[in-house]
Amino acid sequence: MPGRLSVIGLGPGSTALLAPMALSCLAQAGAVVGYDRYMEMVDPDLLQGKTLFSSPMKKEMERTAKAVEFALAGLDTVVVSSGDSGIYGMAGLVLEFLEREGLLDTVDLEIVPGIPALCAAAALLGAPLMHDFASISLSDLLTPLPTIMKRIRCAVEGDFVIVLYNPKSRKRDSYLGQALAMAAEHRGPDTPVGFVRNAYRPDQDVRVATLGSCDPEWADMLTTVVIGNSASRLAGNKILTPRGYFEKYG
């Protein structure tokens, strides 16, 4: 009998934000598979005595194959992502792998939700996501750059609050500046912009600024950036996107 294959999200970092359902999957697992930096985020006691497989970034296919191999060998297997596994995480790849291998009816797949970086970042910044928002990853590893830029342009024109994931890497350090410049074409210089680096991890850094004053250099690959819409404003040192209660009810 194959074991159950679970794909979980660890949340942004702190174990206090690991969802109880994900925690119980980890506790019951016979095997745990993940990107090596995320495996380091898991409480070592939860990994003790289990079959473990970790590998670096860009080895996602290999990790997926290994996890399926463990599950087929009868181990309850957990694949870990950061944040939520279904948001730029491992859930889609595992599902696609099972589909391609014709294993959808053989392996019992469970995808367990987690707290994504966009929720963690929003909470630390105030309440920037109270109205419609678009989440866009600036990583062009799997997505063509023109597609990314088109999505930013459409989100700016649609007046969405914009969450930018993967804002920077060593190979691409100009995209965030371009995204902020596109936003500034339609939104005023006072539009709030938040930079959250390492949310709910020991070296957390939260910066609230505006389109006119922010510096793309503040971001790295551990940062999530939130750009307010035309109604967003600063409330003290927090970012607020009003939903419209006071306009409607006074």
Q: Which residues bind ligand SAH (CB under 6 A)?
A: 9, 12-13, 81-84, 87-89, 116-117, 120-121, 165-166, 196-201, 221-224
Beta carbon nearer to ligand SAH, 120 or 193 = 120
Nearest residue (CB) to ligand SAH, 105 versus 203 = 203
Min separation Cβ 27 and ligand SAH, Å: 21
CB of 63 to ligand SAH, least distance (A): 14
Residue of this chain nearest to ligand SAH (CB atom):
83
What HEC string does the chain produce? Answer: CCCCEEEEECECCCHHHCCHHHHHHHHHCCEEEEEHHHHCCCCHHHHCCCEEEEECCCCHHHHHHHHHHHHHCCCCEEEEECECCCCCCCHHHHHHHHHHCCCCCCCCEEEECCCCHHHHHHHHHEECCCCCEEEEECCCCCCCHHHHHHHHHHHHHCCCEEEEECCCCCCCCCHHHHHHHHHHHHCCCCCEEEEEECCCCCCCEEEEEECCCCCHHHCCCCEEEEECCCCCEEECCEEECCCCHHHHHC
Q: In terms of CB distance, is 7 or 71 closer to ligand SAH?
A: 7
Q: Which is nearer to ligand SAH, 75 or 222 (CB)?
A: 222
Q: Work out how close the CB of 189 gets to ligand SAH at its nearest, in angstroms, rounded to a whole number.
A: 24
Residue among 64 and 166 whose Cβ is closer to ligand SAH: 166
Quote the least distance from Cβ 91 to ligand SAH, whole Å.
9
Residue 224 beta carbon to ligand SAH: minimum distance, rounded to whole angstroms: 4
